[in-house]
Homo-oligomer: A and B are copies of this chain.
Amino acid sequence: MPLVDTAAPFVVRDLALAEAGRHQLRLAENEMPGLMALRDEFGPTQPLKGARIAGSLHMTVQTAVLIETLVALGAQVRWASCNIFSTQDEAAAAVAVGPTGTVDAPAGVPVFAWKGETLEEYWACTERIFDWSAEAAAAGADWTGPNMILDDGGDATLLVHKGREFELAGAVPAAEAGDPEEWRVILGVLSRSLDASPDRWQRTAADIQGVTEETTTGVHRLYELARAGELLFPAINVNDSVTKSKFDNKYGIRHSLPDGINRATDVLMGGKVAFVAGYGDVGKGAAEALRGQGARVIVSEVDPINALQAAMDGYQVAKLESVIDQIDILITGTGNKDVVTVDHLLGLKHLAVVGNVGHFDNEIDMAGLEAVAGAEKIEIKPQVHEWRLPTGRSILVLSEGRLMNLGNATGHPSFVMSNSFTNQVLAQIELYAFRDRYATDVHVLPKHLDEKVARLHLDALGVELTTLSPEQAAYIGVEVDGPYKPEHYRY
């Protein structure tokens, strides 16, 4: 039974859950110094006063701290998760109840998310973050939707763009044979919406001042919209802040990959042969973590520059098929599909561990695996499956090929997310409070804000920053307070 009622206003049914979540929030706050510093800095001036933020991002403990930071800066917020499995129910409950609320009198933020939603429920939840009728009524306002989106993966942005497009077309198209199941669900949601109102999404789109987007995937969609001239409002690409992409990919995976392997399998990594497909930031973090546990790491790459980096960092660089029969642990982090094929899976050592920390579950050909005649799937425990193969060998597949650092561990830790989310809050402030600085295009945060995000995380680590003298700053042609590097600097 879901924790929340998607049809009725949100009701928290479990105070114990909310209290457990509140404990975790308190611990997480200590690990999210960037967000807490923003509360201190901007709490008094309330730069987000008047902002109505529709948020679609994994409803975890860390996101709870983000949400309460947005609120502390003046915003009103409604929230959904961006993934059917990623919600931590105690975090959702804690945010919904709020720090001072009770179950009967919640004083928090409406949250539409629970662990294990169906696709139908997921998109219903997403739609709910655009329904601000209760807030409008309370405010005596004539708007009924948000004026800002905070997005992860672009689902919230998609709904607005597609909803408006179909309204203008006068009809929601029928699903076609071969359309993914999820697209059918989206069409259903928008079809019901169009039945109820012919211009809801047009009005919503017109109100929205901007979107801040968390991920590579969402950013990719935004650039496509912008190139096609279809982007409806300015967007800030949070993903490509240095303090986001170079931090959560690399250091987040370094943390959560071994954590996931441990929780899923308890196998010793030391002495084992681990293969990491992809040596981007994710692969770099994965390889470092595995080496740090004493594994021998082999890397694959398609980009010769990254391949050369891997070699210079001391890793063997090989094609997967060249070393397949030596591998104990196989990790994908490429962002591409079919990186691990069925032939690869059939060639692995007995009980090799297979996991993905890239993006989609198609990095490993799970569909192909399911079609192997004679293969048998045994659940060892949730998110850990032994596949008995017709070769007589088995493999252990984590999280069914989806992100194992989320499915088998707890994703990026708070400190890493503090970097990402401090970027998010600064981006929300930029687009809301300084809207006129941003054309309807996709922007990255200015470098001084990227540096600010880093700066807000130094004290917690005991880092002492050196200050340039004015003479030194002049000598290298920068301001004493930065920004310090040209745009193309690679860190």
Contacts and interface: CB of A to CB of B under 8 A. Distances in A.
Given A20-B381, A251-B268, A319-B466, 13 more contacts: A27-B351, A242-B305, A259-B263, A262-B262, A262-B263, A270-B415, A302-B466, A303-B482, A304-B455, A304-B465, A305-B451, A307-B465, A335-B476
A380 B27 contact: yes
A356 interface: no
A258 interface: yes
A167 B295 CA distance: 54
A294 B491 contact: no
B268 A413 contact: yes
A24 interface: yes
A303 B490 CA distance: 13
A478 to B, nearest CB: 9
Interface centre among A263, A305, A338, A381 (most CB of B within 10 A): A305
A440 interface: no
Say which size band chain A's interface belongs to: 35 or more
Interface string A254-278: 1100110011011111111100000
Contacts of A255: 262, 268-270, 293
B267 A463 contact: no
A200 interface: no
Contacts of A457: 308
A472 B336 contact: yes
Contact of A247 (B307, B312, B322, B351): B312
A246 interface: yes
Contacts of A437: none
A458 interface: yes
Nearest to A278: B466
A179 interface: no
A451 to B, nearest CB: 5
A417 to B, nearest CB: 9
Contacts of A254: 270, 293-294
B451 A30 contact: no
Interface string A440-465: 00001000001110110110011111
Interface string A298-314: 00111111111111111
A273 B463 CA distance: 11
Contact of A268 (B31, B288, B458, B484): B31
Interface in A350-394: 350-351, 378, 380-381, 386
A466 B302 CA distance: 5
A276 B332 CA distance: 31
A35 B294 CA distance: 22
B268 A464 contact: no
Given A254-B294, A317-B463, A476-B336, A305 B270 contact: no
A61 to B, nearest CB: 8
A253 to B, nearest CB: 11
Contacts of A487: 488
Contacts of A386: 23, 27
Contacts of A20: 381
A490 B319 contact: no
21 contacts: A27-B380, A30-B350, A31-B267, A240-B488, A247-B308, A255-B268, A270-B415, A292-B292, A294-B314, A296-B315, A296-B316, A302-B465, A302-B468, A303-B451, A303-B485, A304-B458, A306-B491, A307-B458, A316-B462, A317-B463, A317-B464
A270 B314 contact: yes
Q: Which 6 A-B pairs rank lowest in CB-CB distance, beginning with the nearest?
A: A292-B292, A304-B454, A304-B455, A268-B413, A268-B415, A317-B463
A320 B269 CA distance: 25
A367 to B, nearest CB: 14
B294 A251 contact: yes
Nearest to A419: B308
A467 interface: yes
Interface in A1-35: 20, 23-24, 27, 30-31
